[in-house]
Amino acid sequence: MPFQVPSIDDITQPALAERLQRQLDNKTKPLGSLGRIEVLAQRLGLILGSETPELRAPQLVVFAADHGLAARGVSAYPSDVTWQMVENFLAGGAAVSVLARQHGIGLTVVDCGVRHDFAPRAGLVISKVAPGTADALEGPAMSPSQCRVAMASGSALVKGLPGNALLLGEMGIGNTSAASMLLARLSGIDVADCTGAGTGLDADAVQRKIGILREVLARHVDAREPLDALAAFGGFEIATMVGAVLRAAVERRVVVVDGFIASAAVLVASHLQPAVLQRCVFAHRSGERGHALMLAHLKVEPLLDLGLRLGEGSGAAMAWPLLVSACAILREMASFEAAGVSRQDEAPTAAQRQA
């Protein structure tokens, strides 16, 4: 399945931005009193190209795959947890399942490369490139061809989804290692600063993990370009997410980015097409060590900072009501004129004095 990185247009629209700001300033409130919700409202208006933006049929996609490097002990959990958690997502018992239900968000789980055969059922998409990536310490996690197949699958998936908002989630034992290496390679930050406890490693285990990741980075010293790094370090779920992000950006969907691994996919996508970031809303700053550095590298500010490090798209689902509220403020909040309310620098009208 061939895949070409699409062109992503710059959606900077000074005239629309000015109209949105004027509209926000004219709402019945002191200037700027809704703080960053006003910034969010303007961003959503720009992404959707509307002064009255409306979010429709939001879709949360959990991209799942296994990592060959997990056999090196870079995670506190065994690889079997990947497929077991996929079953939990589908049964409705995971945190992201609960949150998606609560907020009326469509939930799809994609098998991008889990080392397990799932029975077909509603809510599950089988796009398995291979049963897990290879051990990146022995060679590339995936071939260039496999990487592009995964990206093409992500793009095709988004094309078939309804709505105008994509929330990113993931599952894959070992994928914080892949994200840490992608950050280190594409940003130039030392891998020790990019690497945290993942699923719960103790301090000694984190140091061993850092040592392994240094070896992998040295093994693939020539993998400098975004897609070369992605193929070298993995994983299938991150590559599939990259394709999904690029397609969502082409379609001007709002992309709600979860934590460290989802941000790693956006990092790769933005190094391929910088205008991708114009379509993204970053849900939260993860408790995973490298995430703050990744957000700083991307020059973005997340909505929440709750110490989350679960993944799955849970942070994106928790932030979702803020996006809904920001759009509602633009569409429904009264202007000073419509409400008959005096501005700060205006004397009250006769009718207002009599009220």
Q: What digits encode the pLDDT tens for the residues 129-187?
A: 999 999 999 999 999 999 999 999 999 999 999 999 999 999 999 999 999 999 999 99
Average pLDDT over residues 238-248: 98
Neighbours of 295 (CB within 10 A): 20
Where residue 346 falls among pLDDT bands split at 50, 70, 90?
Answer: low
Cβ neighbors of 334 (< 8 A, separation 6 or more) are 27, 28, 341
Confidence class for position 350, pLDDT limits 50, 70, 90: very low
For the chain, give the percent of residues with pLDDT over 70. 97
pLDDT of residue 345: 66
Q: Are 145 and 239 in contact (CB under 8 A)?
A: no
Is the pLDDT at 353 greater than 80? The verdict is no
Tell whether the model's pLDDT for residue 267 goes beyond 50: yes
Q: Is the pLDDT of residue 354 over 50?
A: no
Is residue 33 classed exposed, middle or buried when 0-12, 13-18 and 19+ CB atoms within 10 A define those classes?
exposed
Note the pLDDT of residue 208. 95
Phi-psi region of 57 (alpha: psi -120 to 50; beta: other; left: phi over 0): left
Task: Give the pLDDT confidence score for residue 355 in this predicted structure.
Answer: 42
- All residues at 6 or more sequence positions from 318 whose CB lies less than 8 Å from its CB, including other chains: 99, 283, 284, 304, 306, 308
Domain spans of the chain? 14-54+329-354, 59-321
Provide the pLDDT confidence category of residue 200 given band limits of 50, 70 and 90.
Answer: confident
Partnered with residue 59 across adjacent β-strands are 106, 166
Kindly compute the dihedral angle of the four CA atoms of residues 292, 295, 300, 306, in this order, to the nearest 10 degrees. Answer: -40
Domain 59-321 fold: Rossmann fold (3.40.50)
**Average pLDDT value over all residues in the chain:** 95
Quick one: pLDDT at residue 86?
Answer: 98
Kindly report, residue by residue over 97-130, the tens digit of the pLDDT: 999 999 999 999 999 999 999 999 999 999 999 9
Identify the CATH number of the domain defined by range 14-54+329-354: 1.10.1610.10
Q: Are 336 and 342 in contact (CB under 8 A)?
A: yes
Q: Give mean pLDDT, residues 273-301.
A: 97
Report residue 352's pLDDT band, with 50, 70 and 90 as the boundaries: very low
pLDDT at 198: 82
pLDDT tens track for 50-102 = 999 999 999 999 999 999 999 999 998 999 999 999 999 999 999 999 999 99
Catalytic member of 138, 312, 332, 337: 312
For residue 263, what are its two tokens? 């941000």
312 is catalytic: yes
Helix or strand run (H / E) with residue 62: strand 59-65
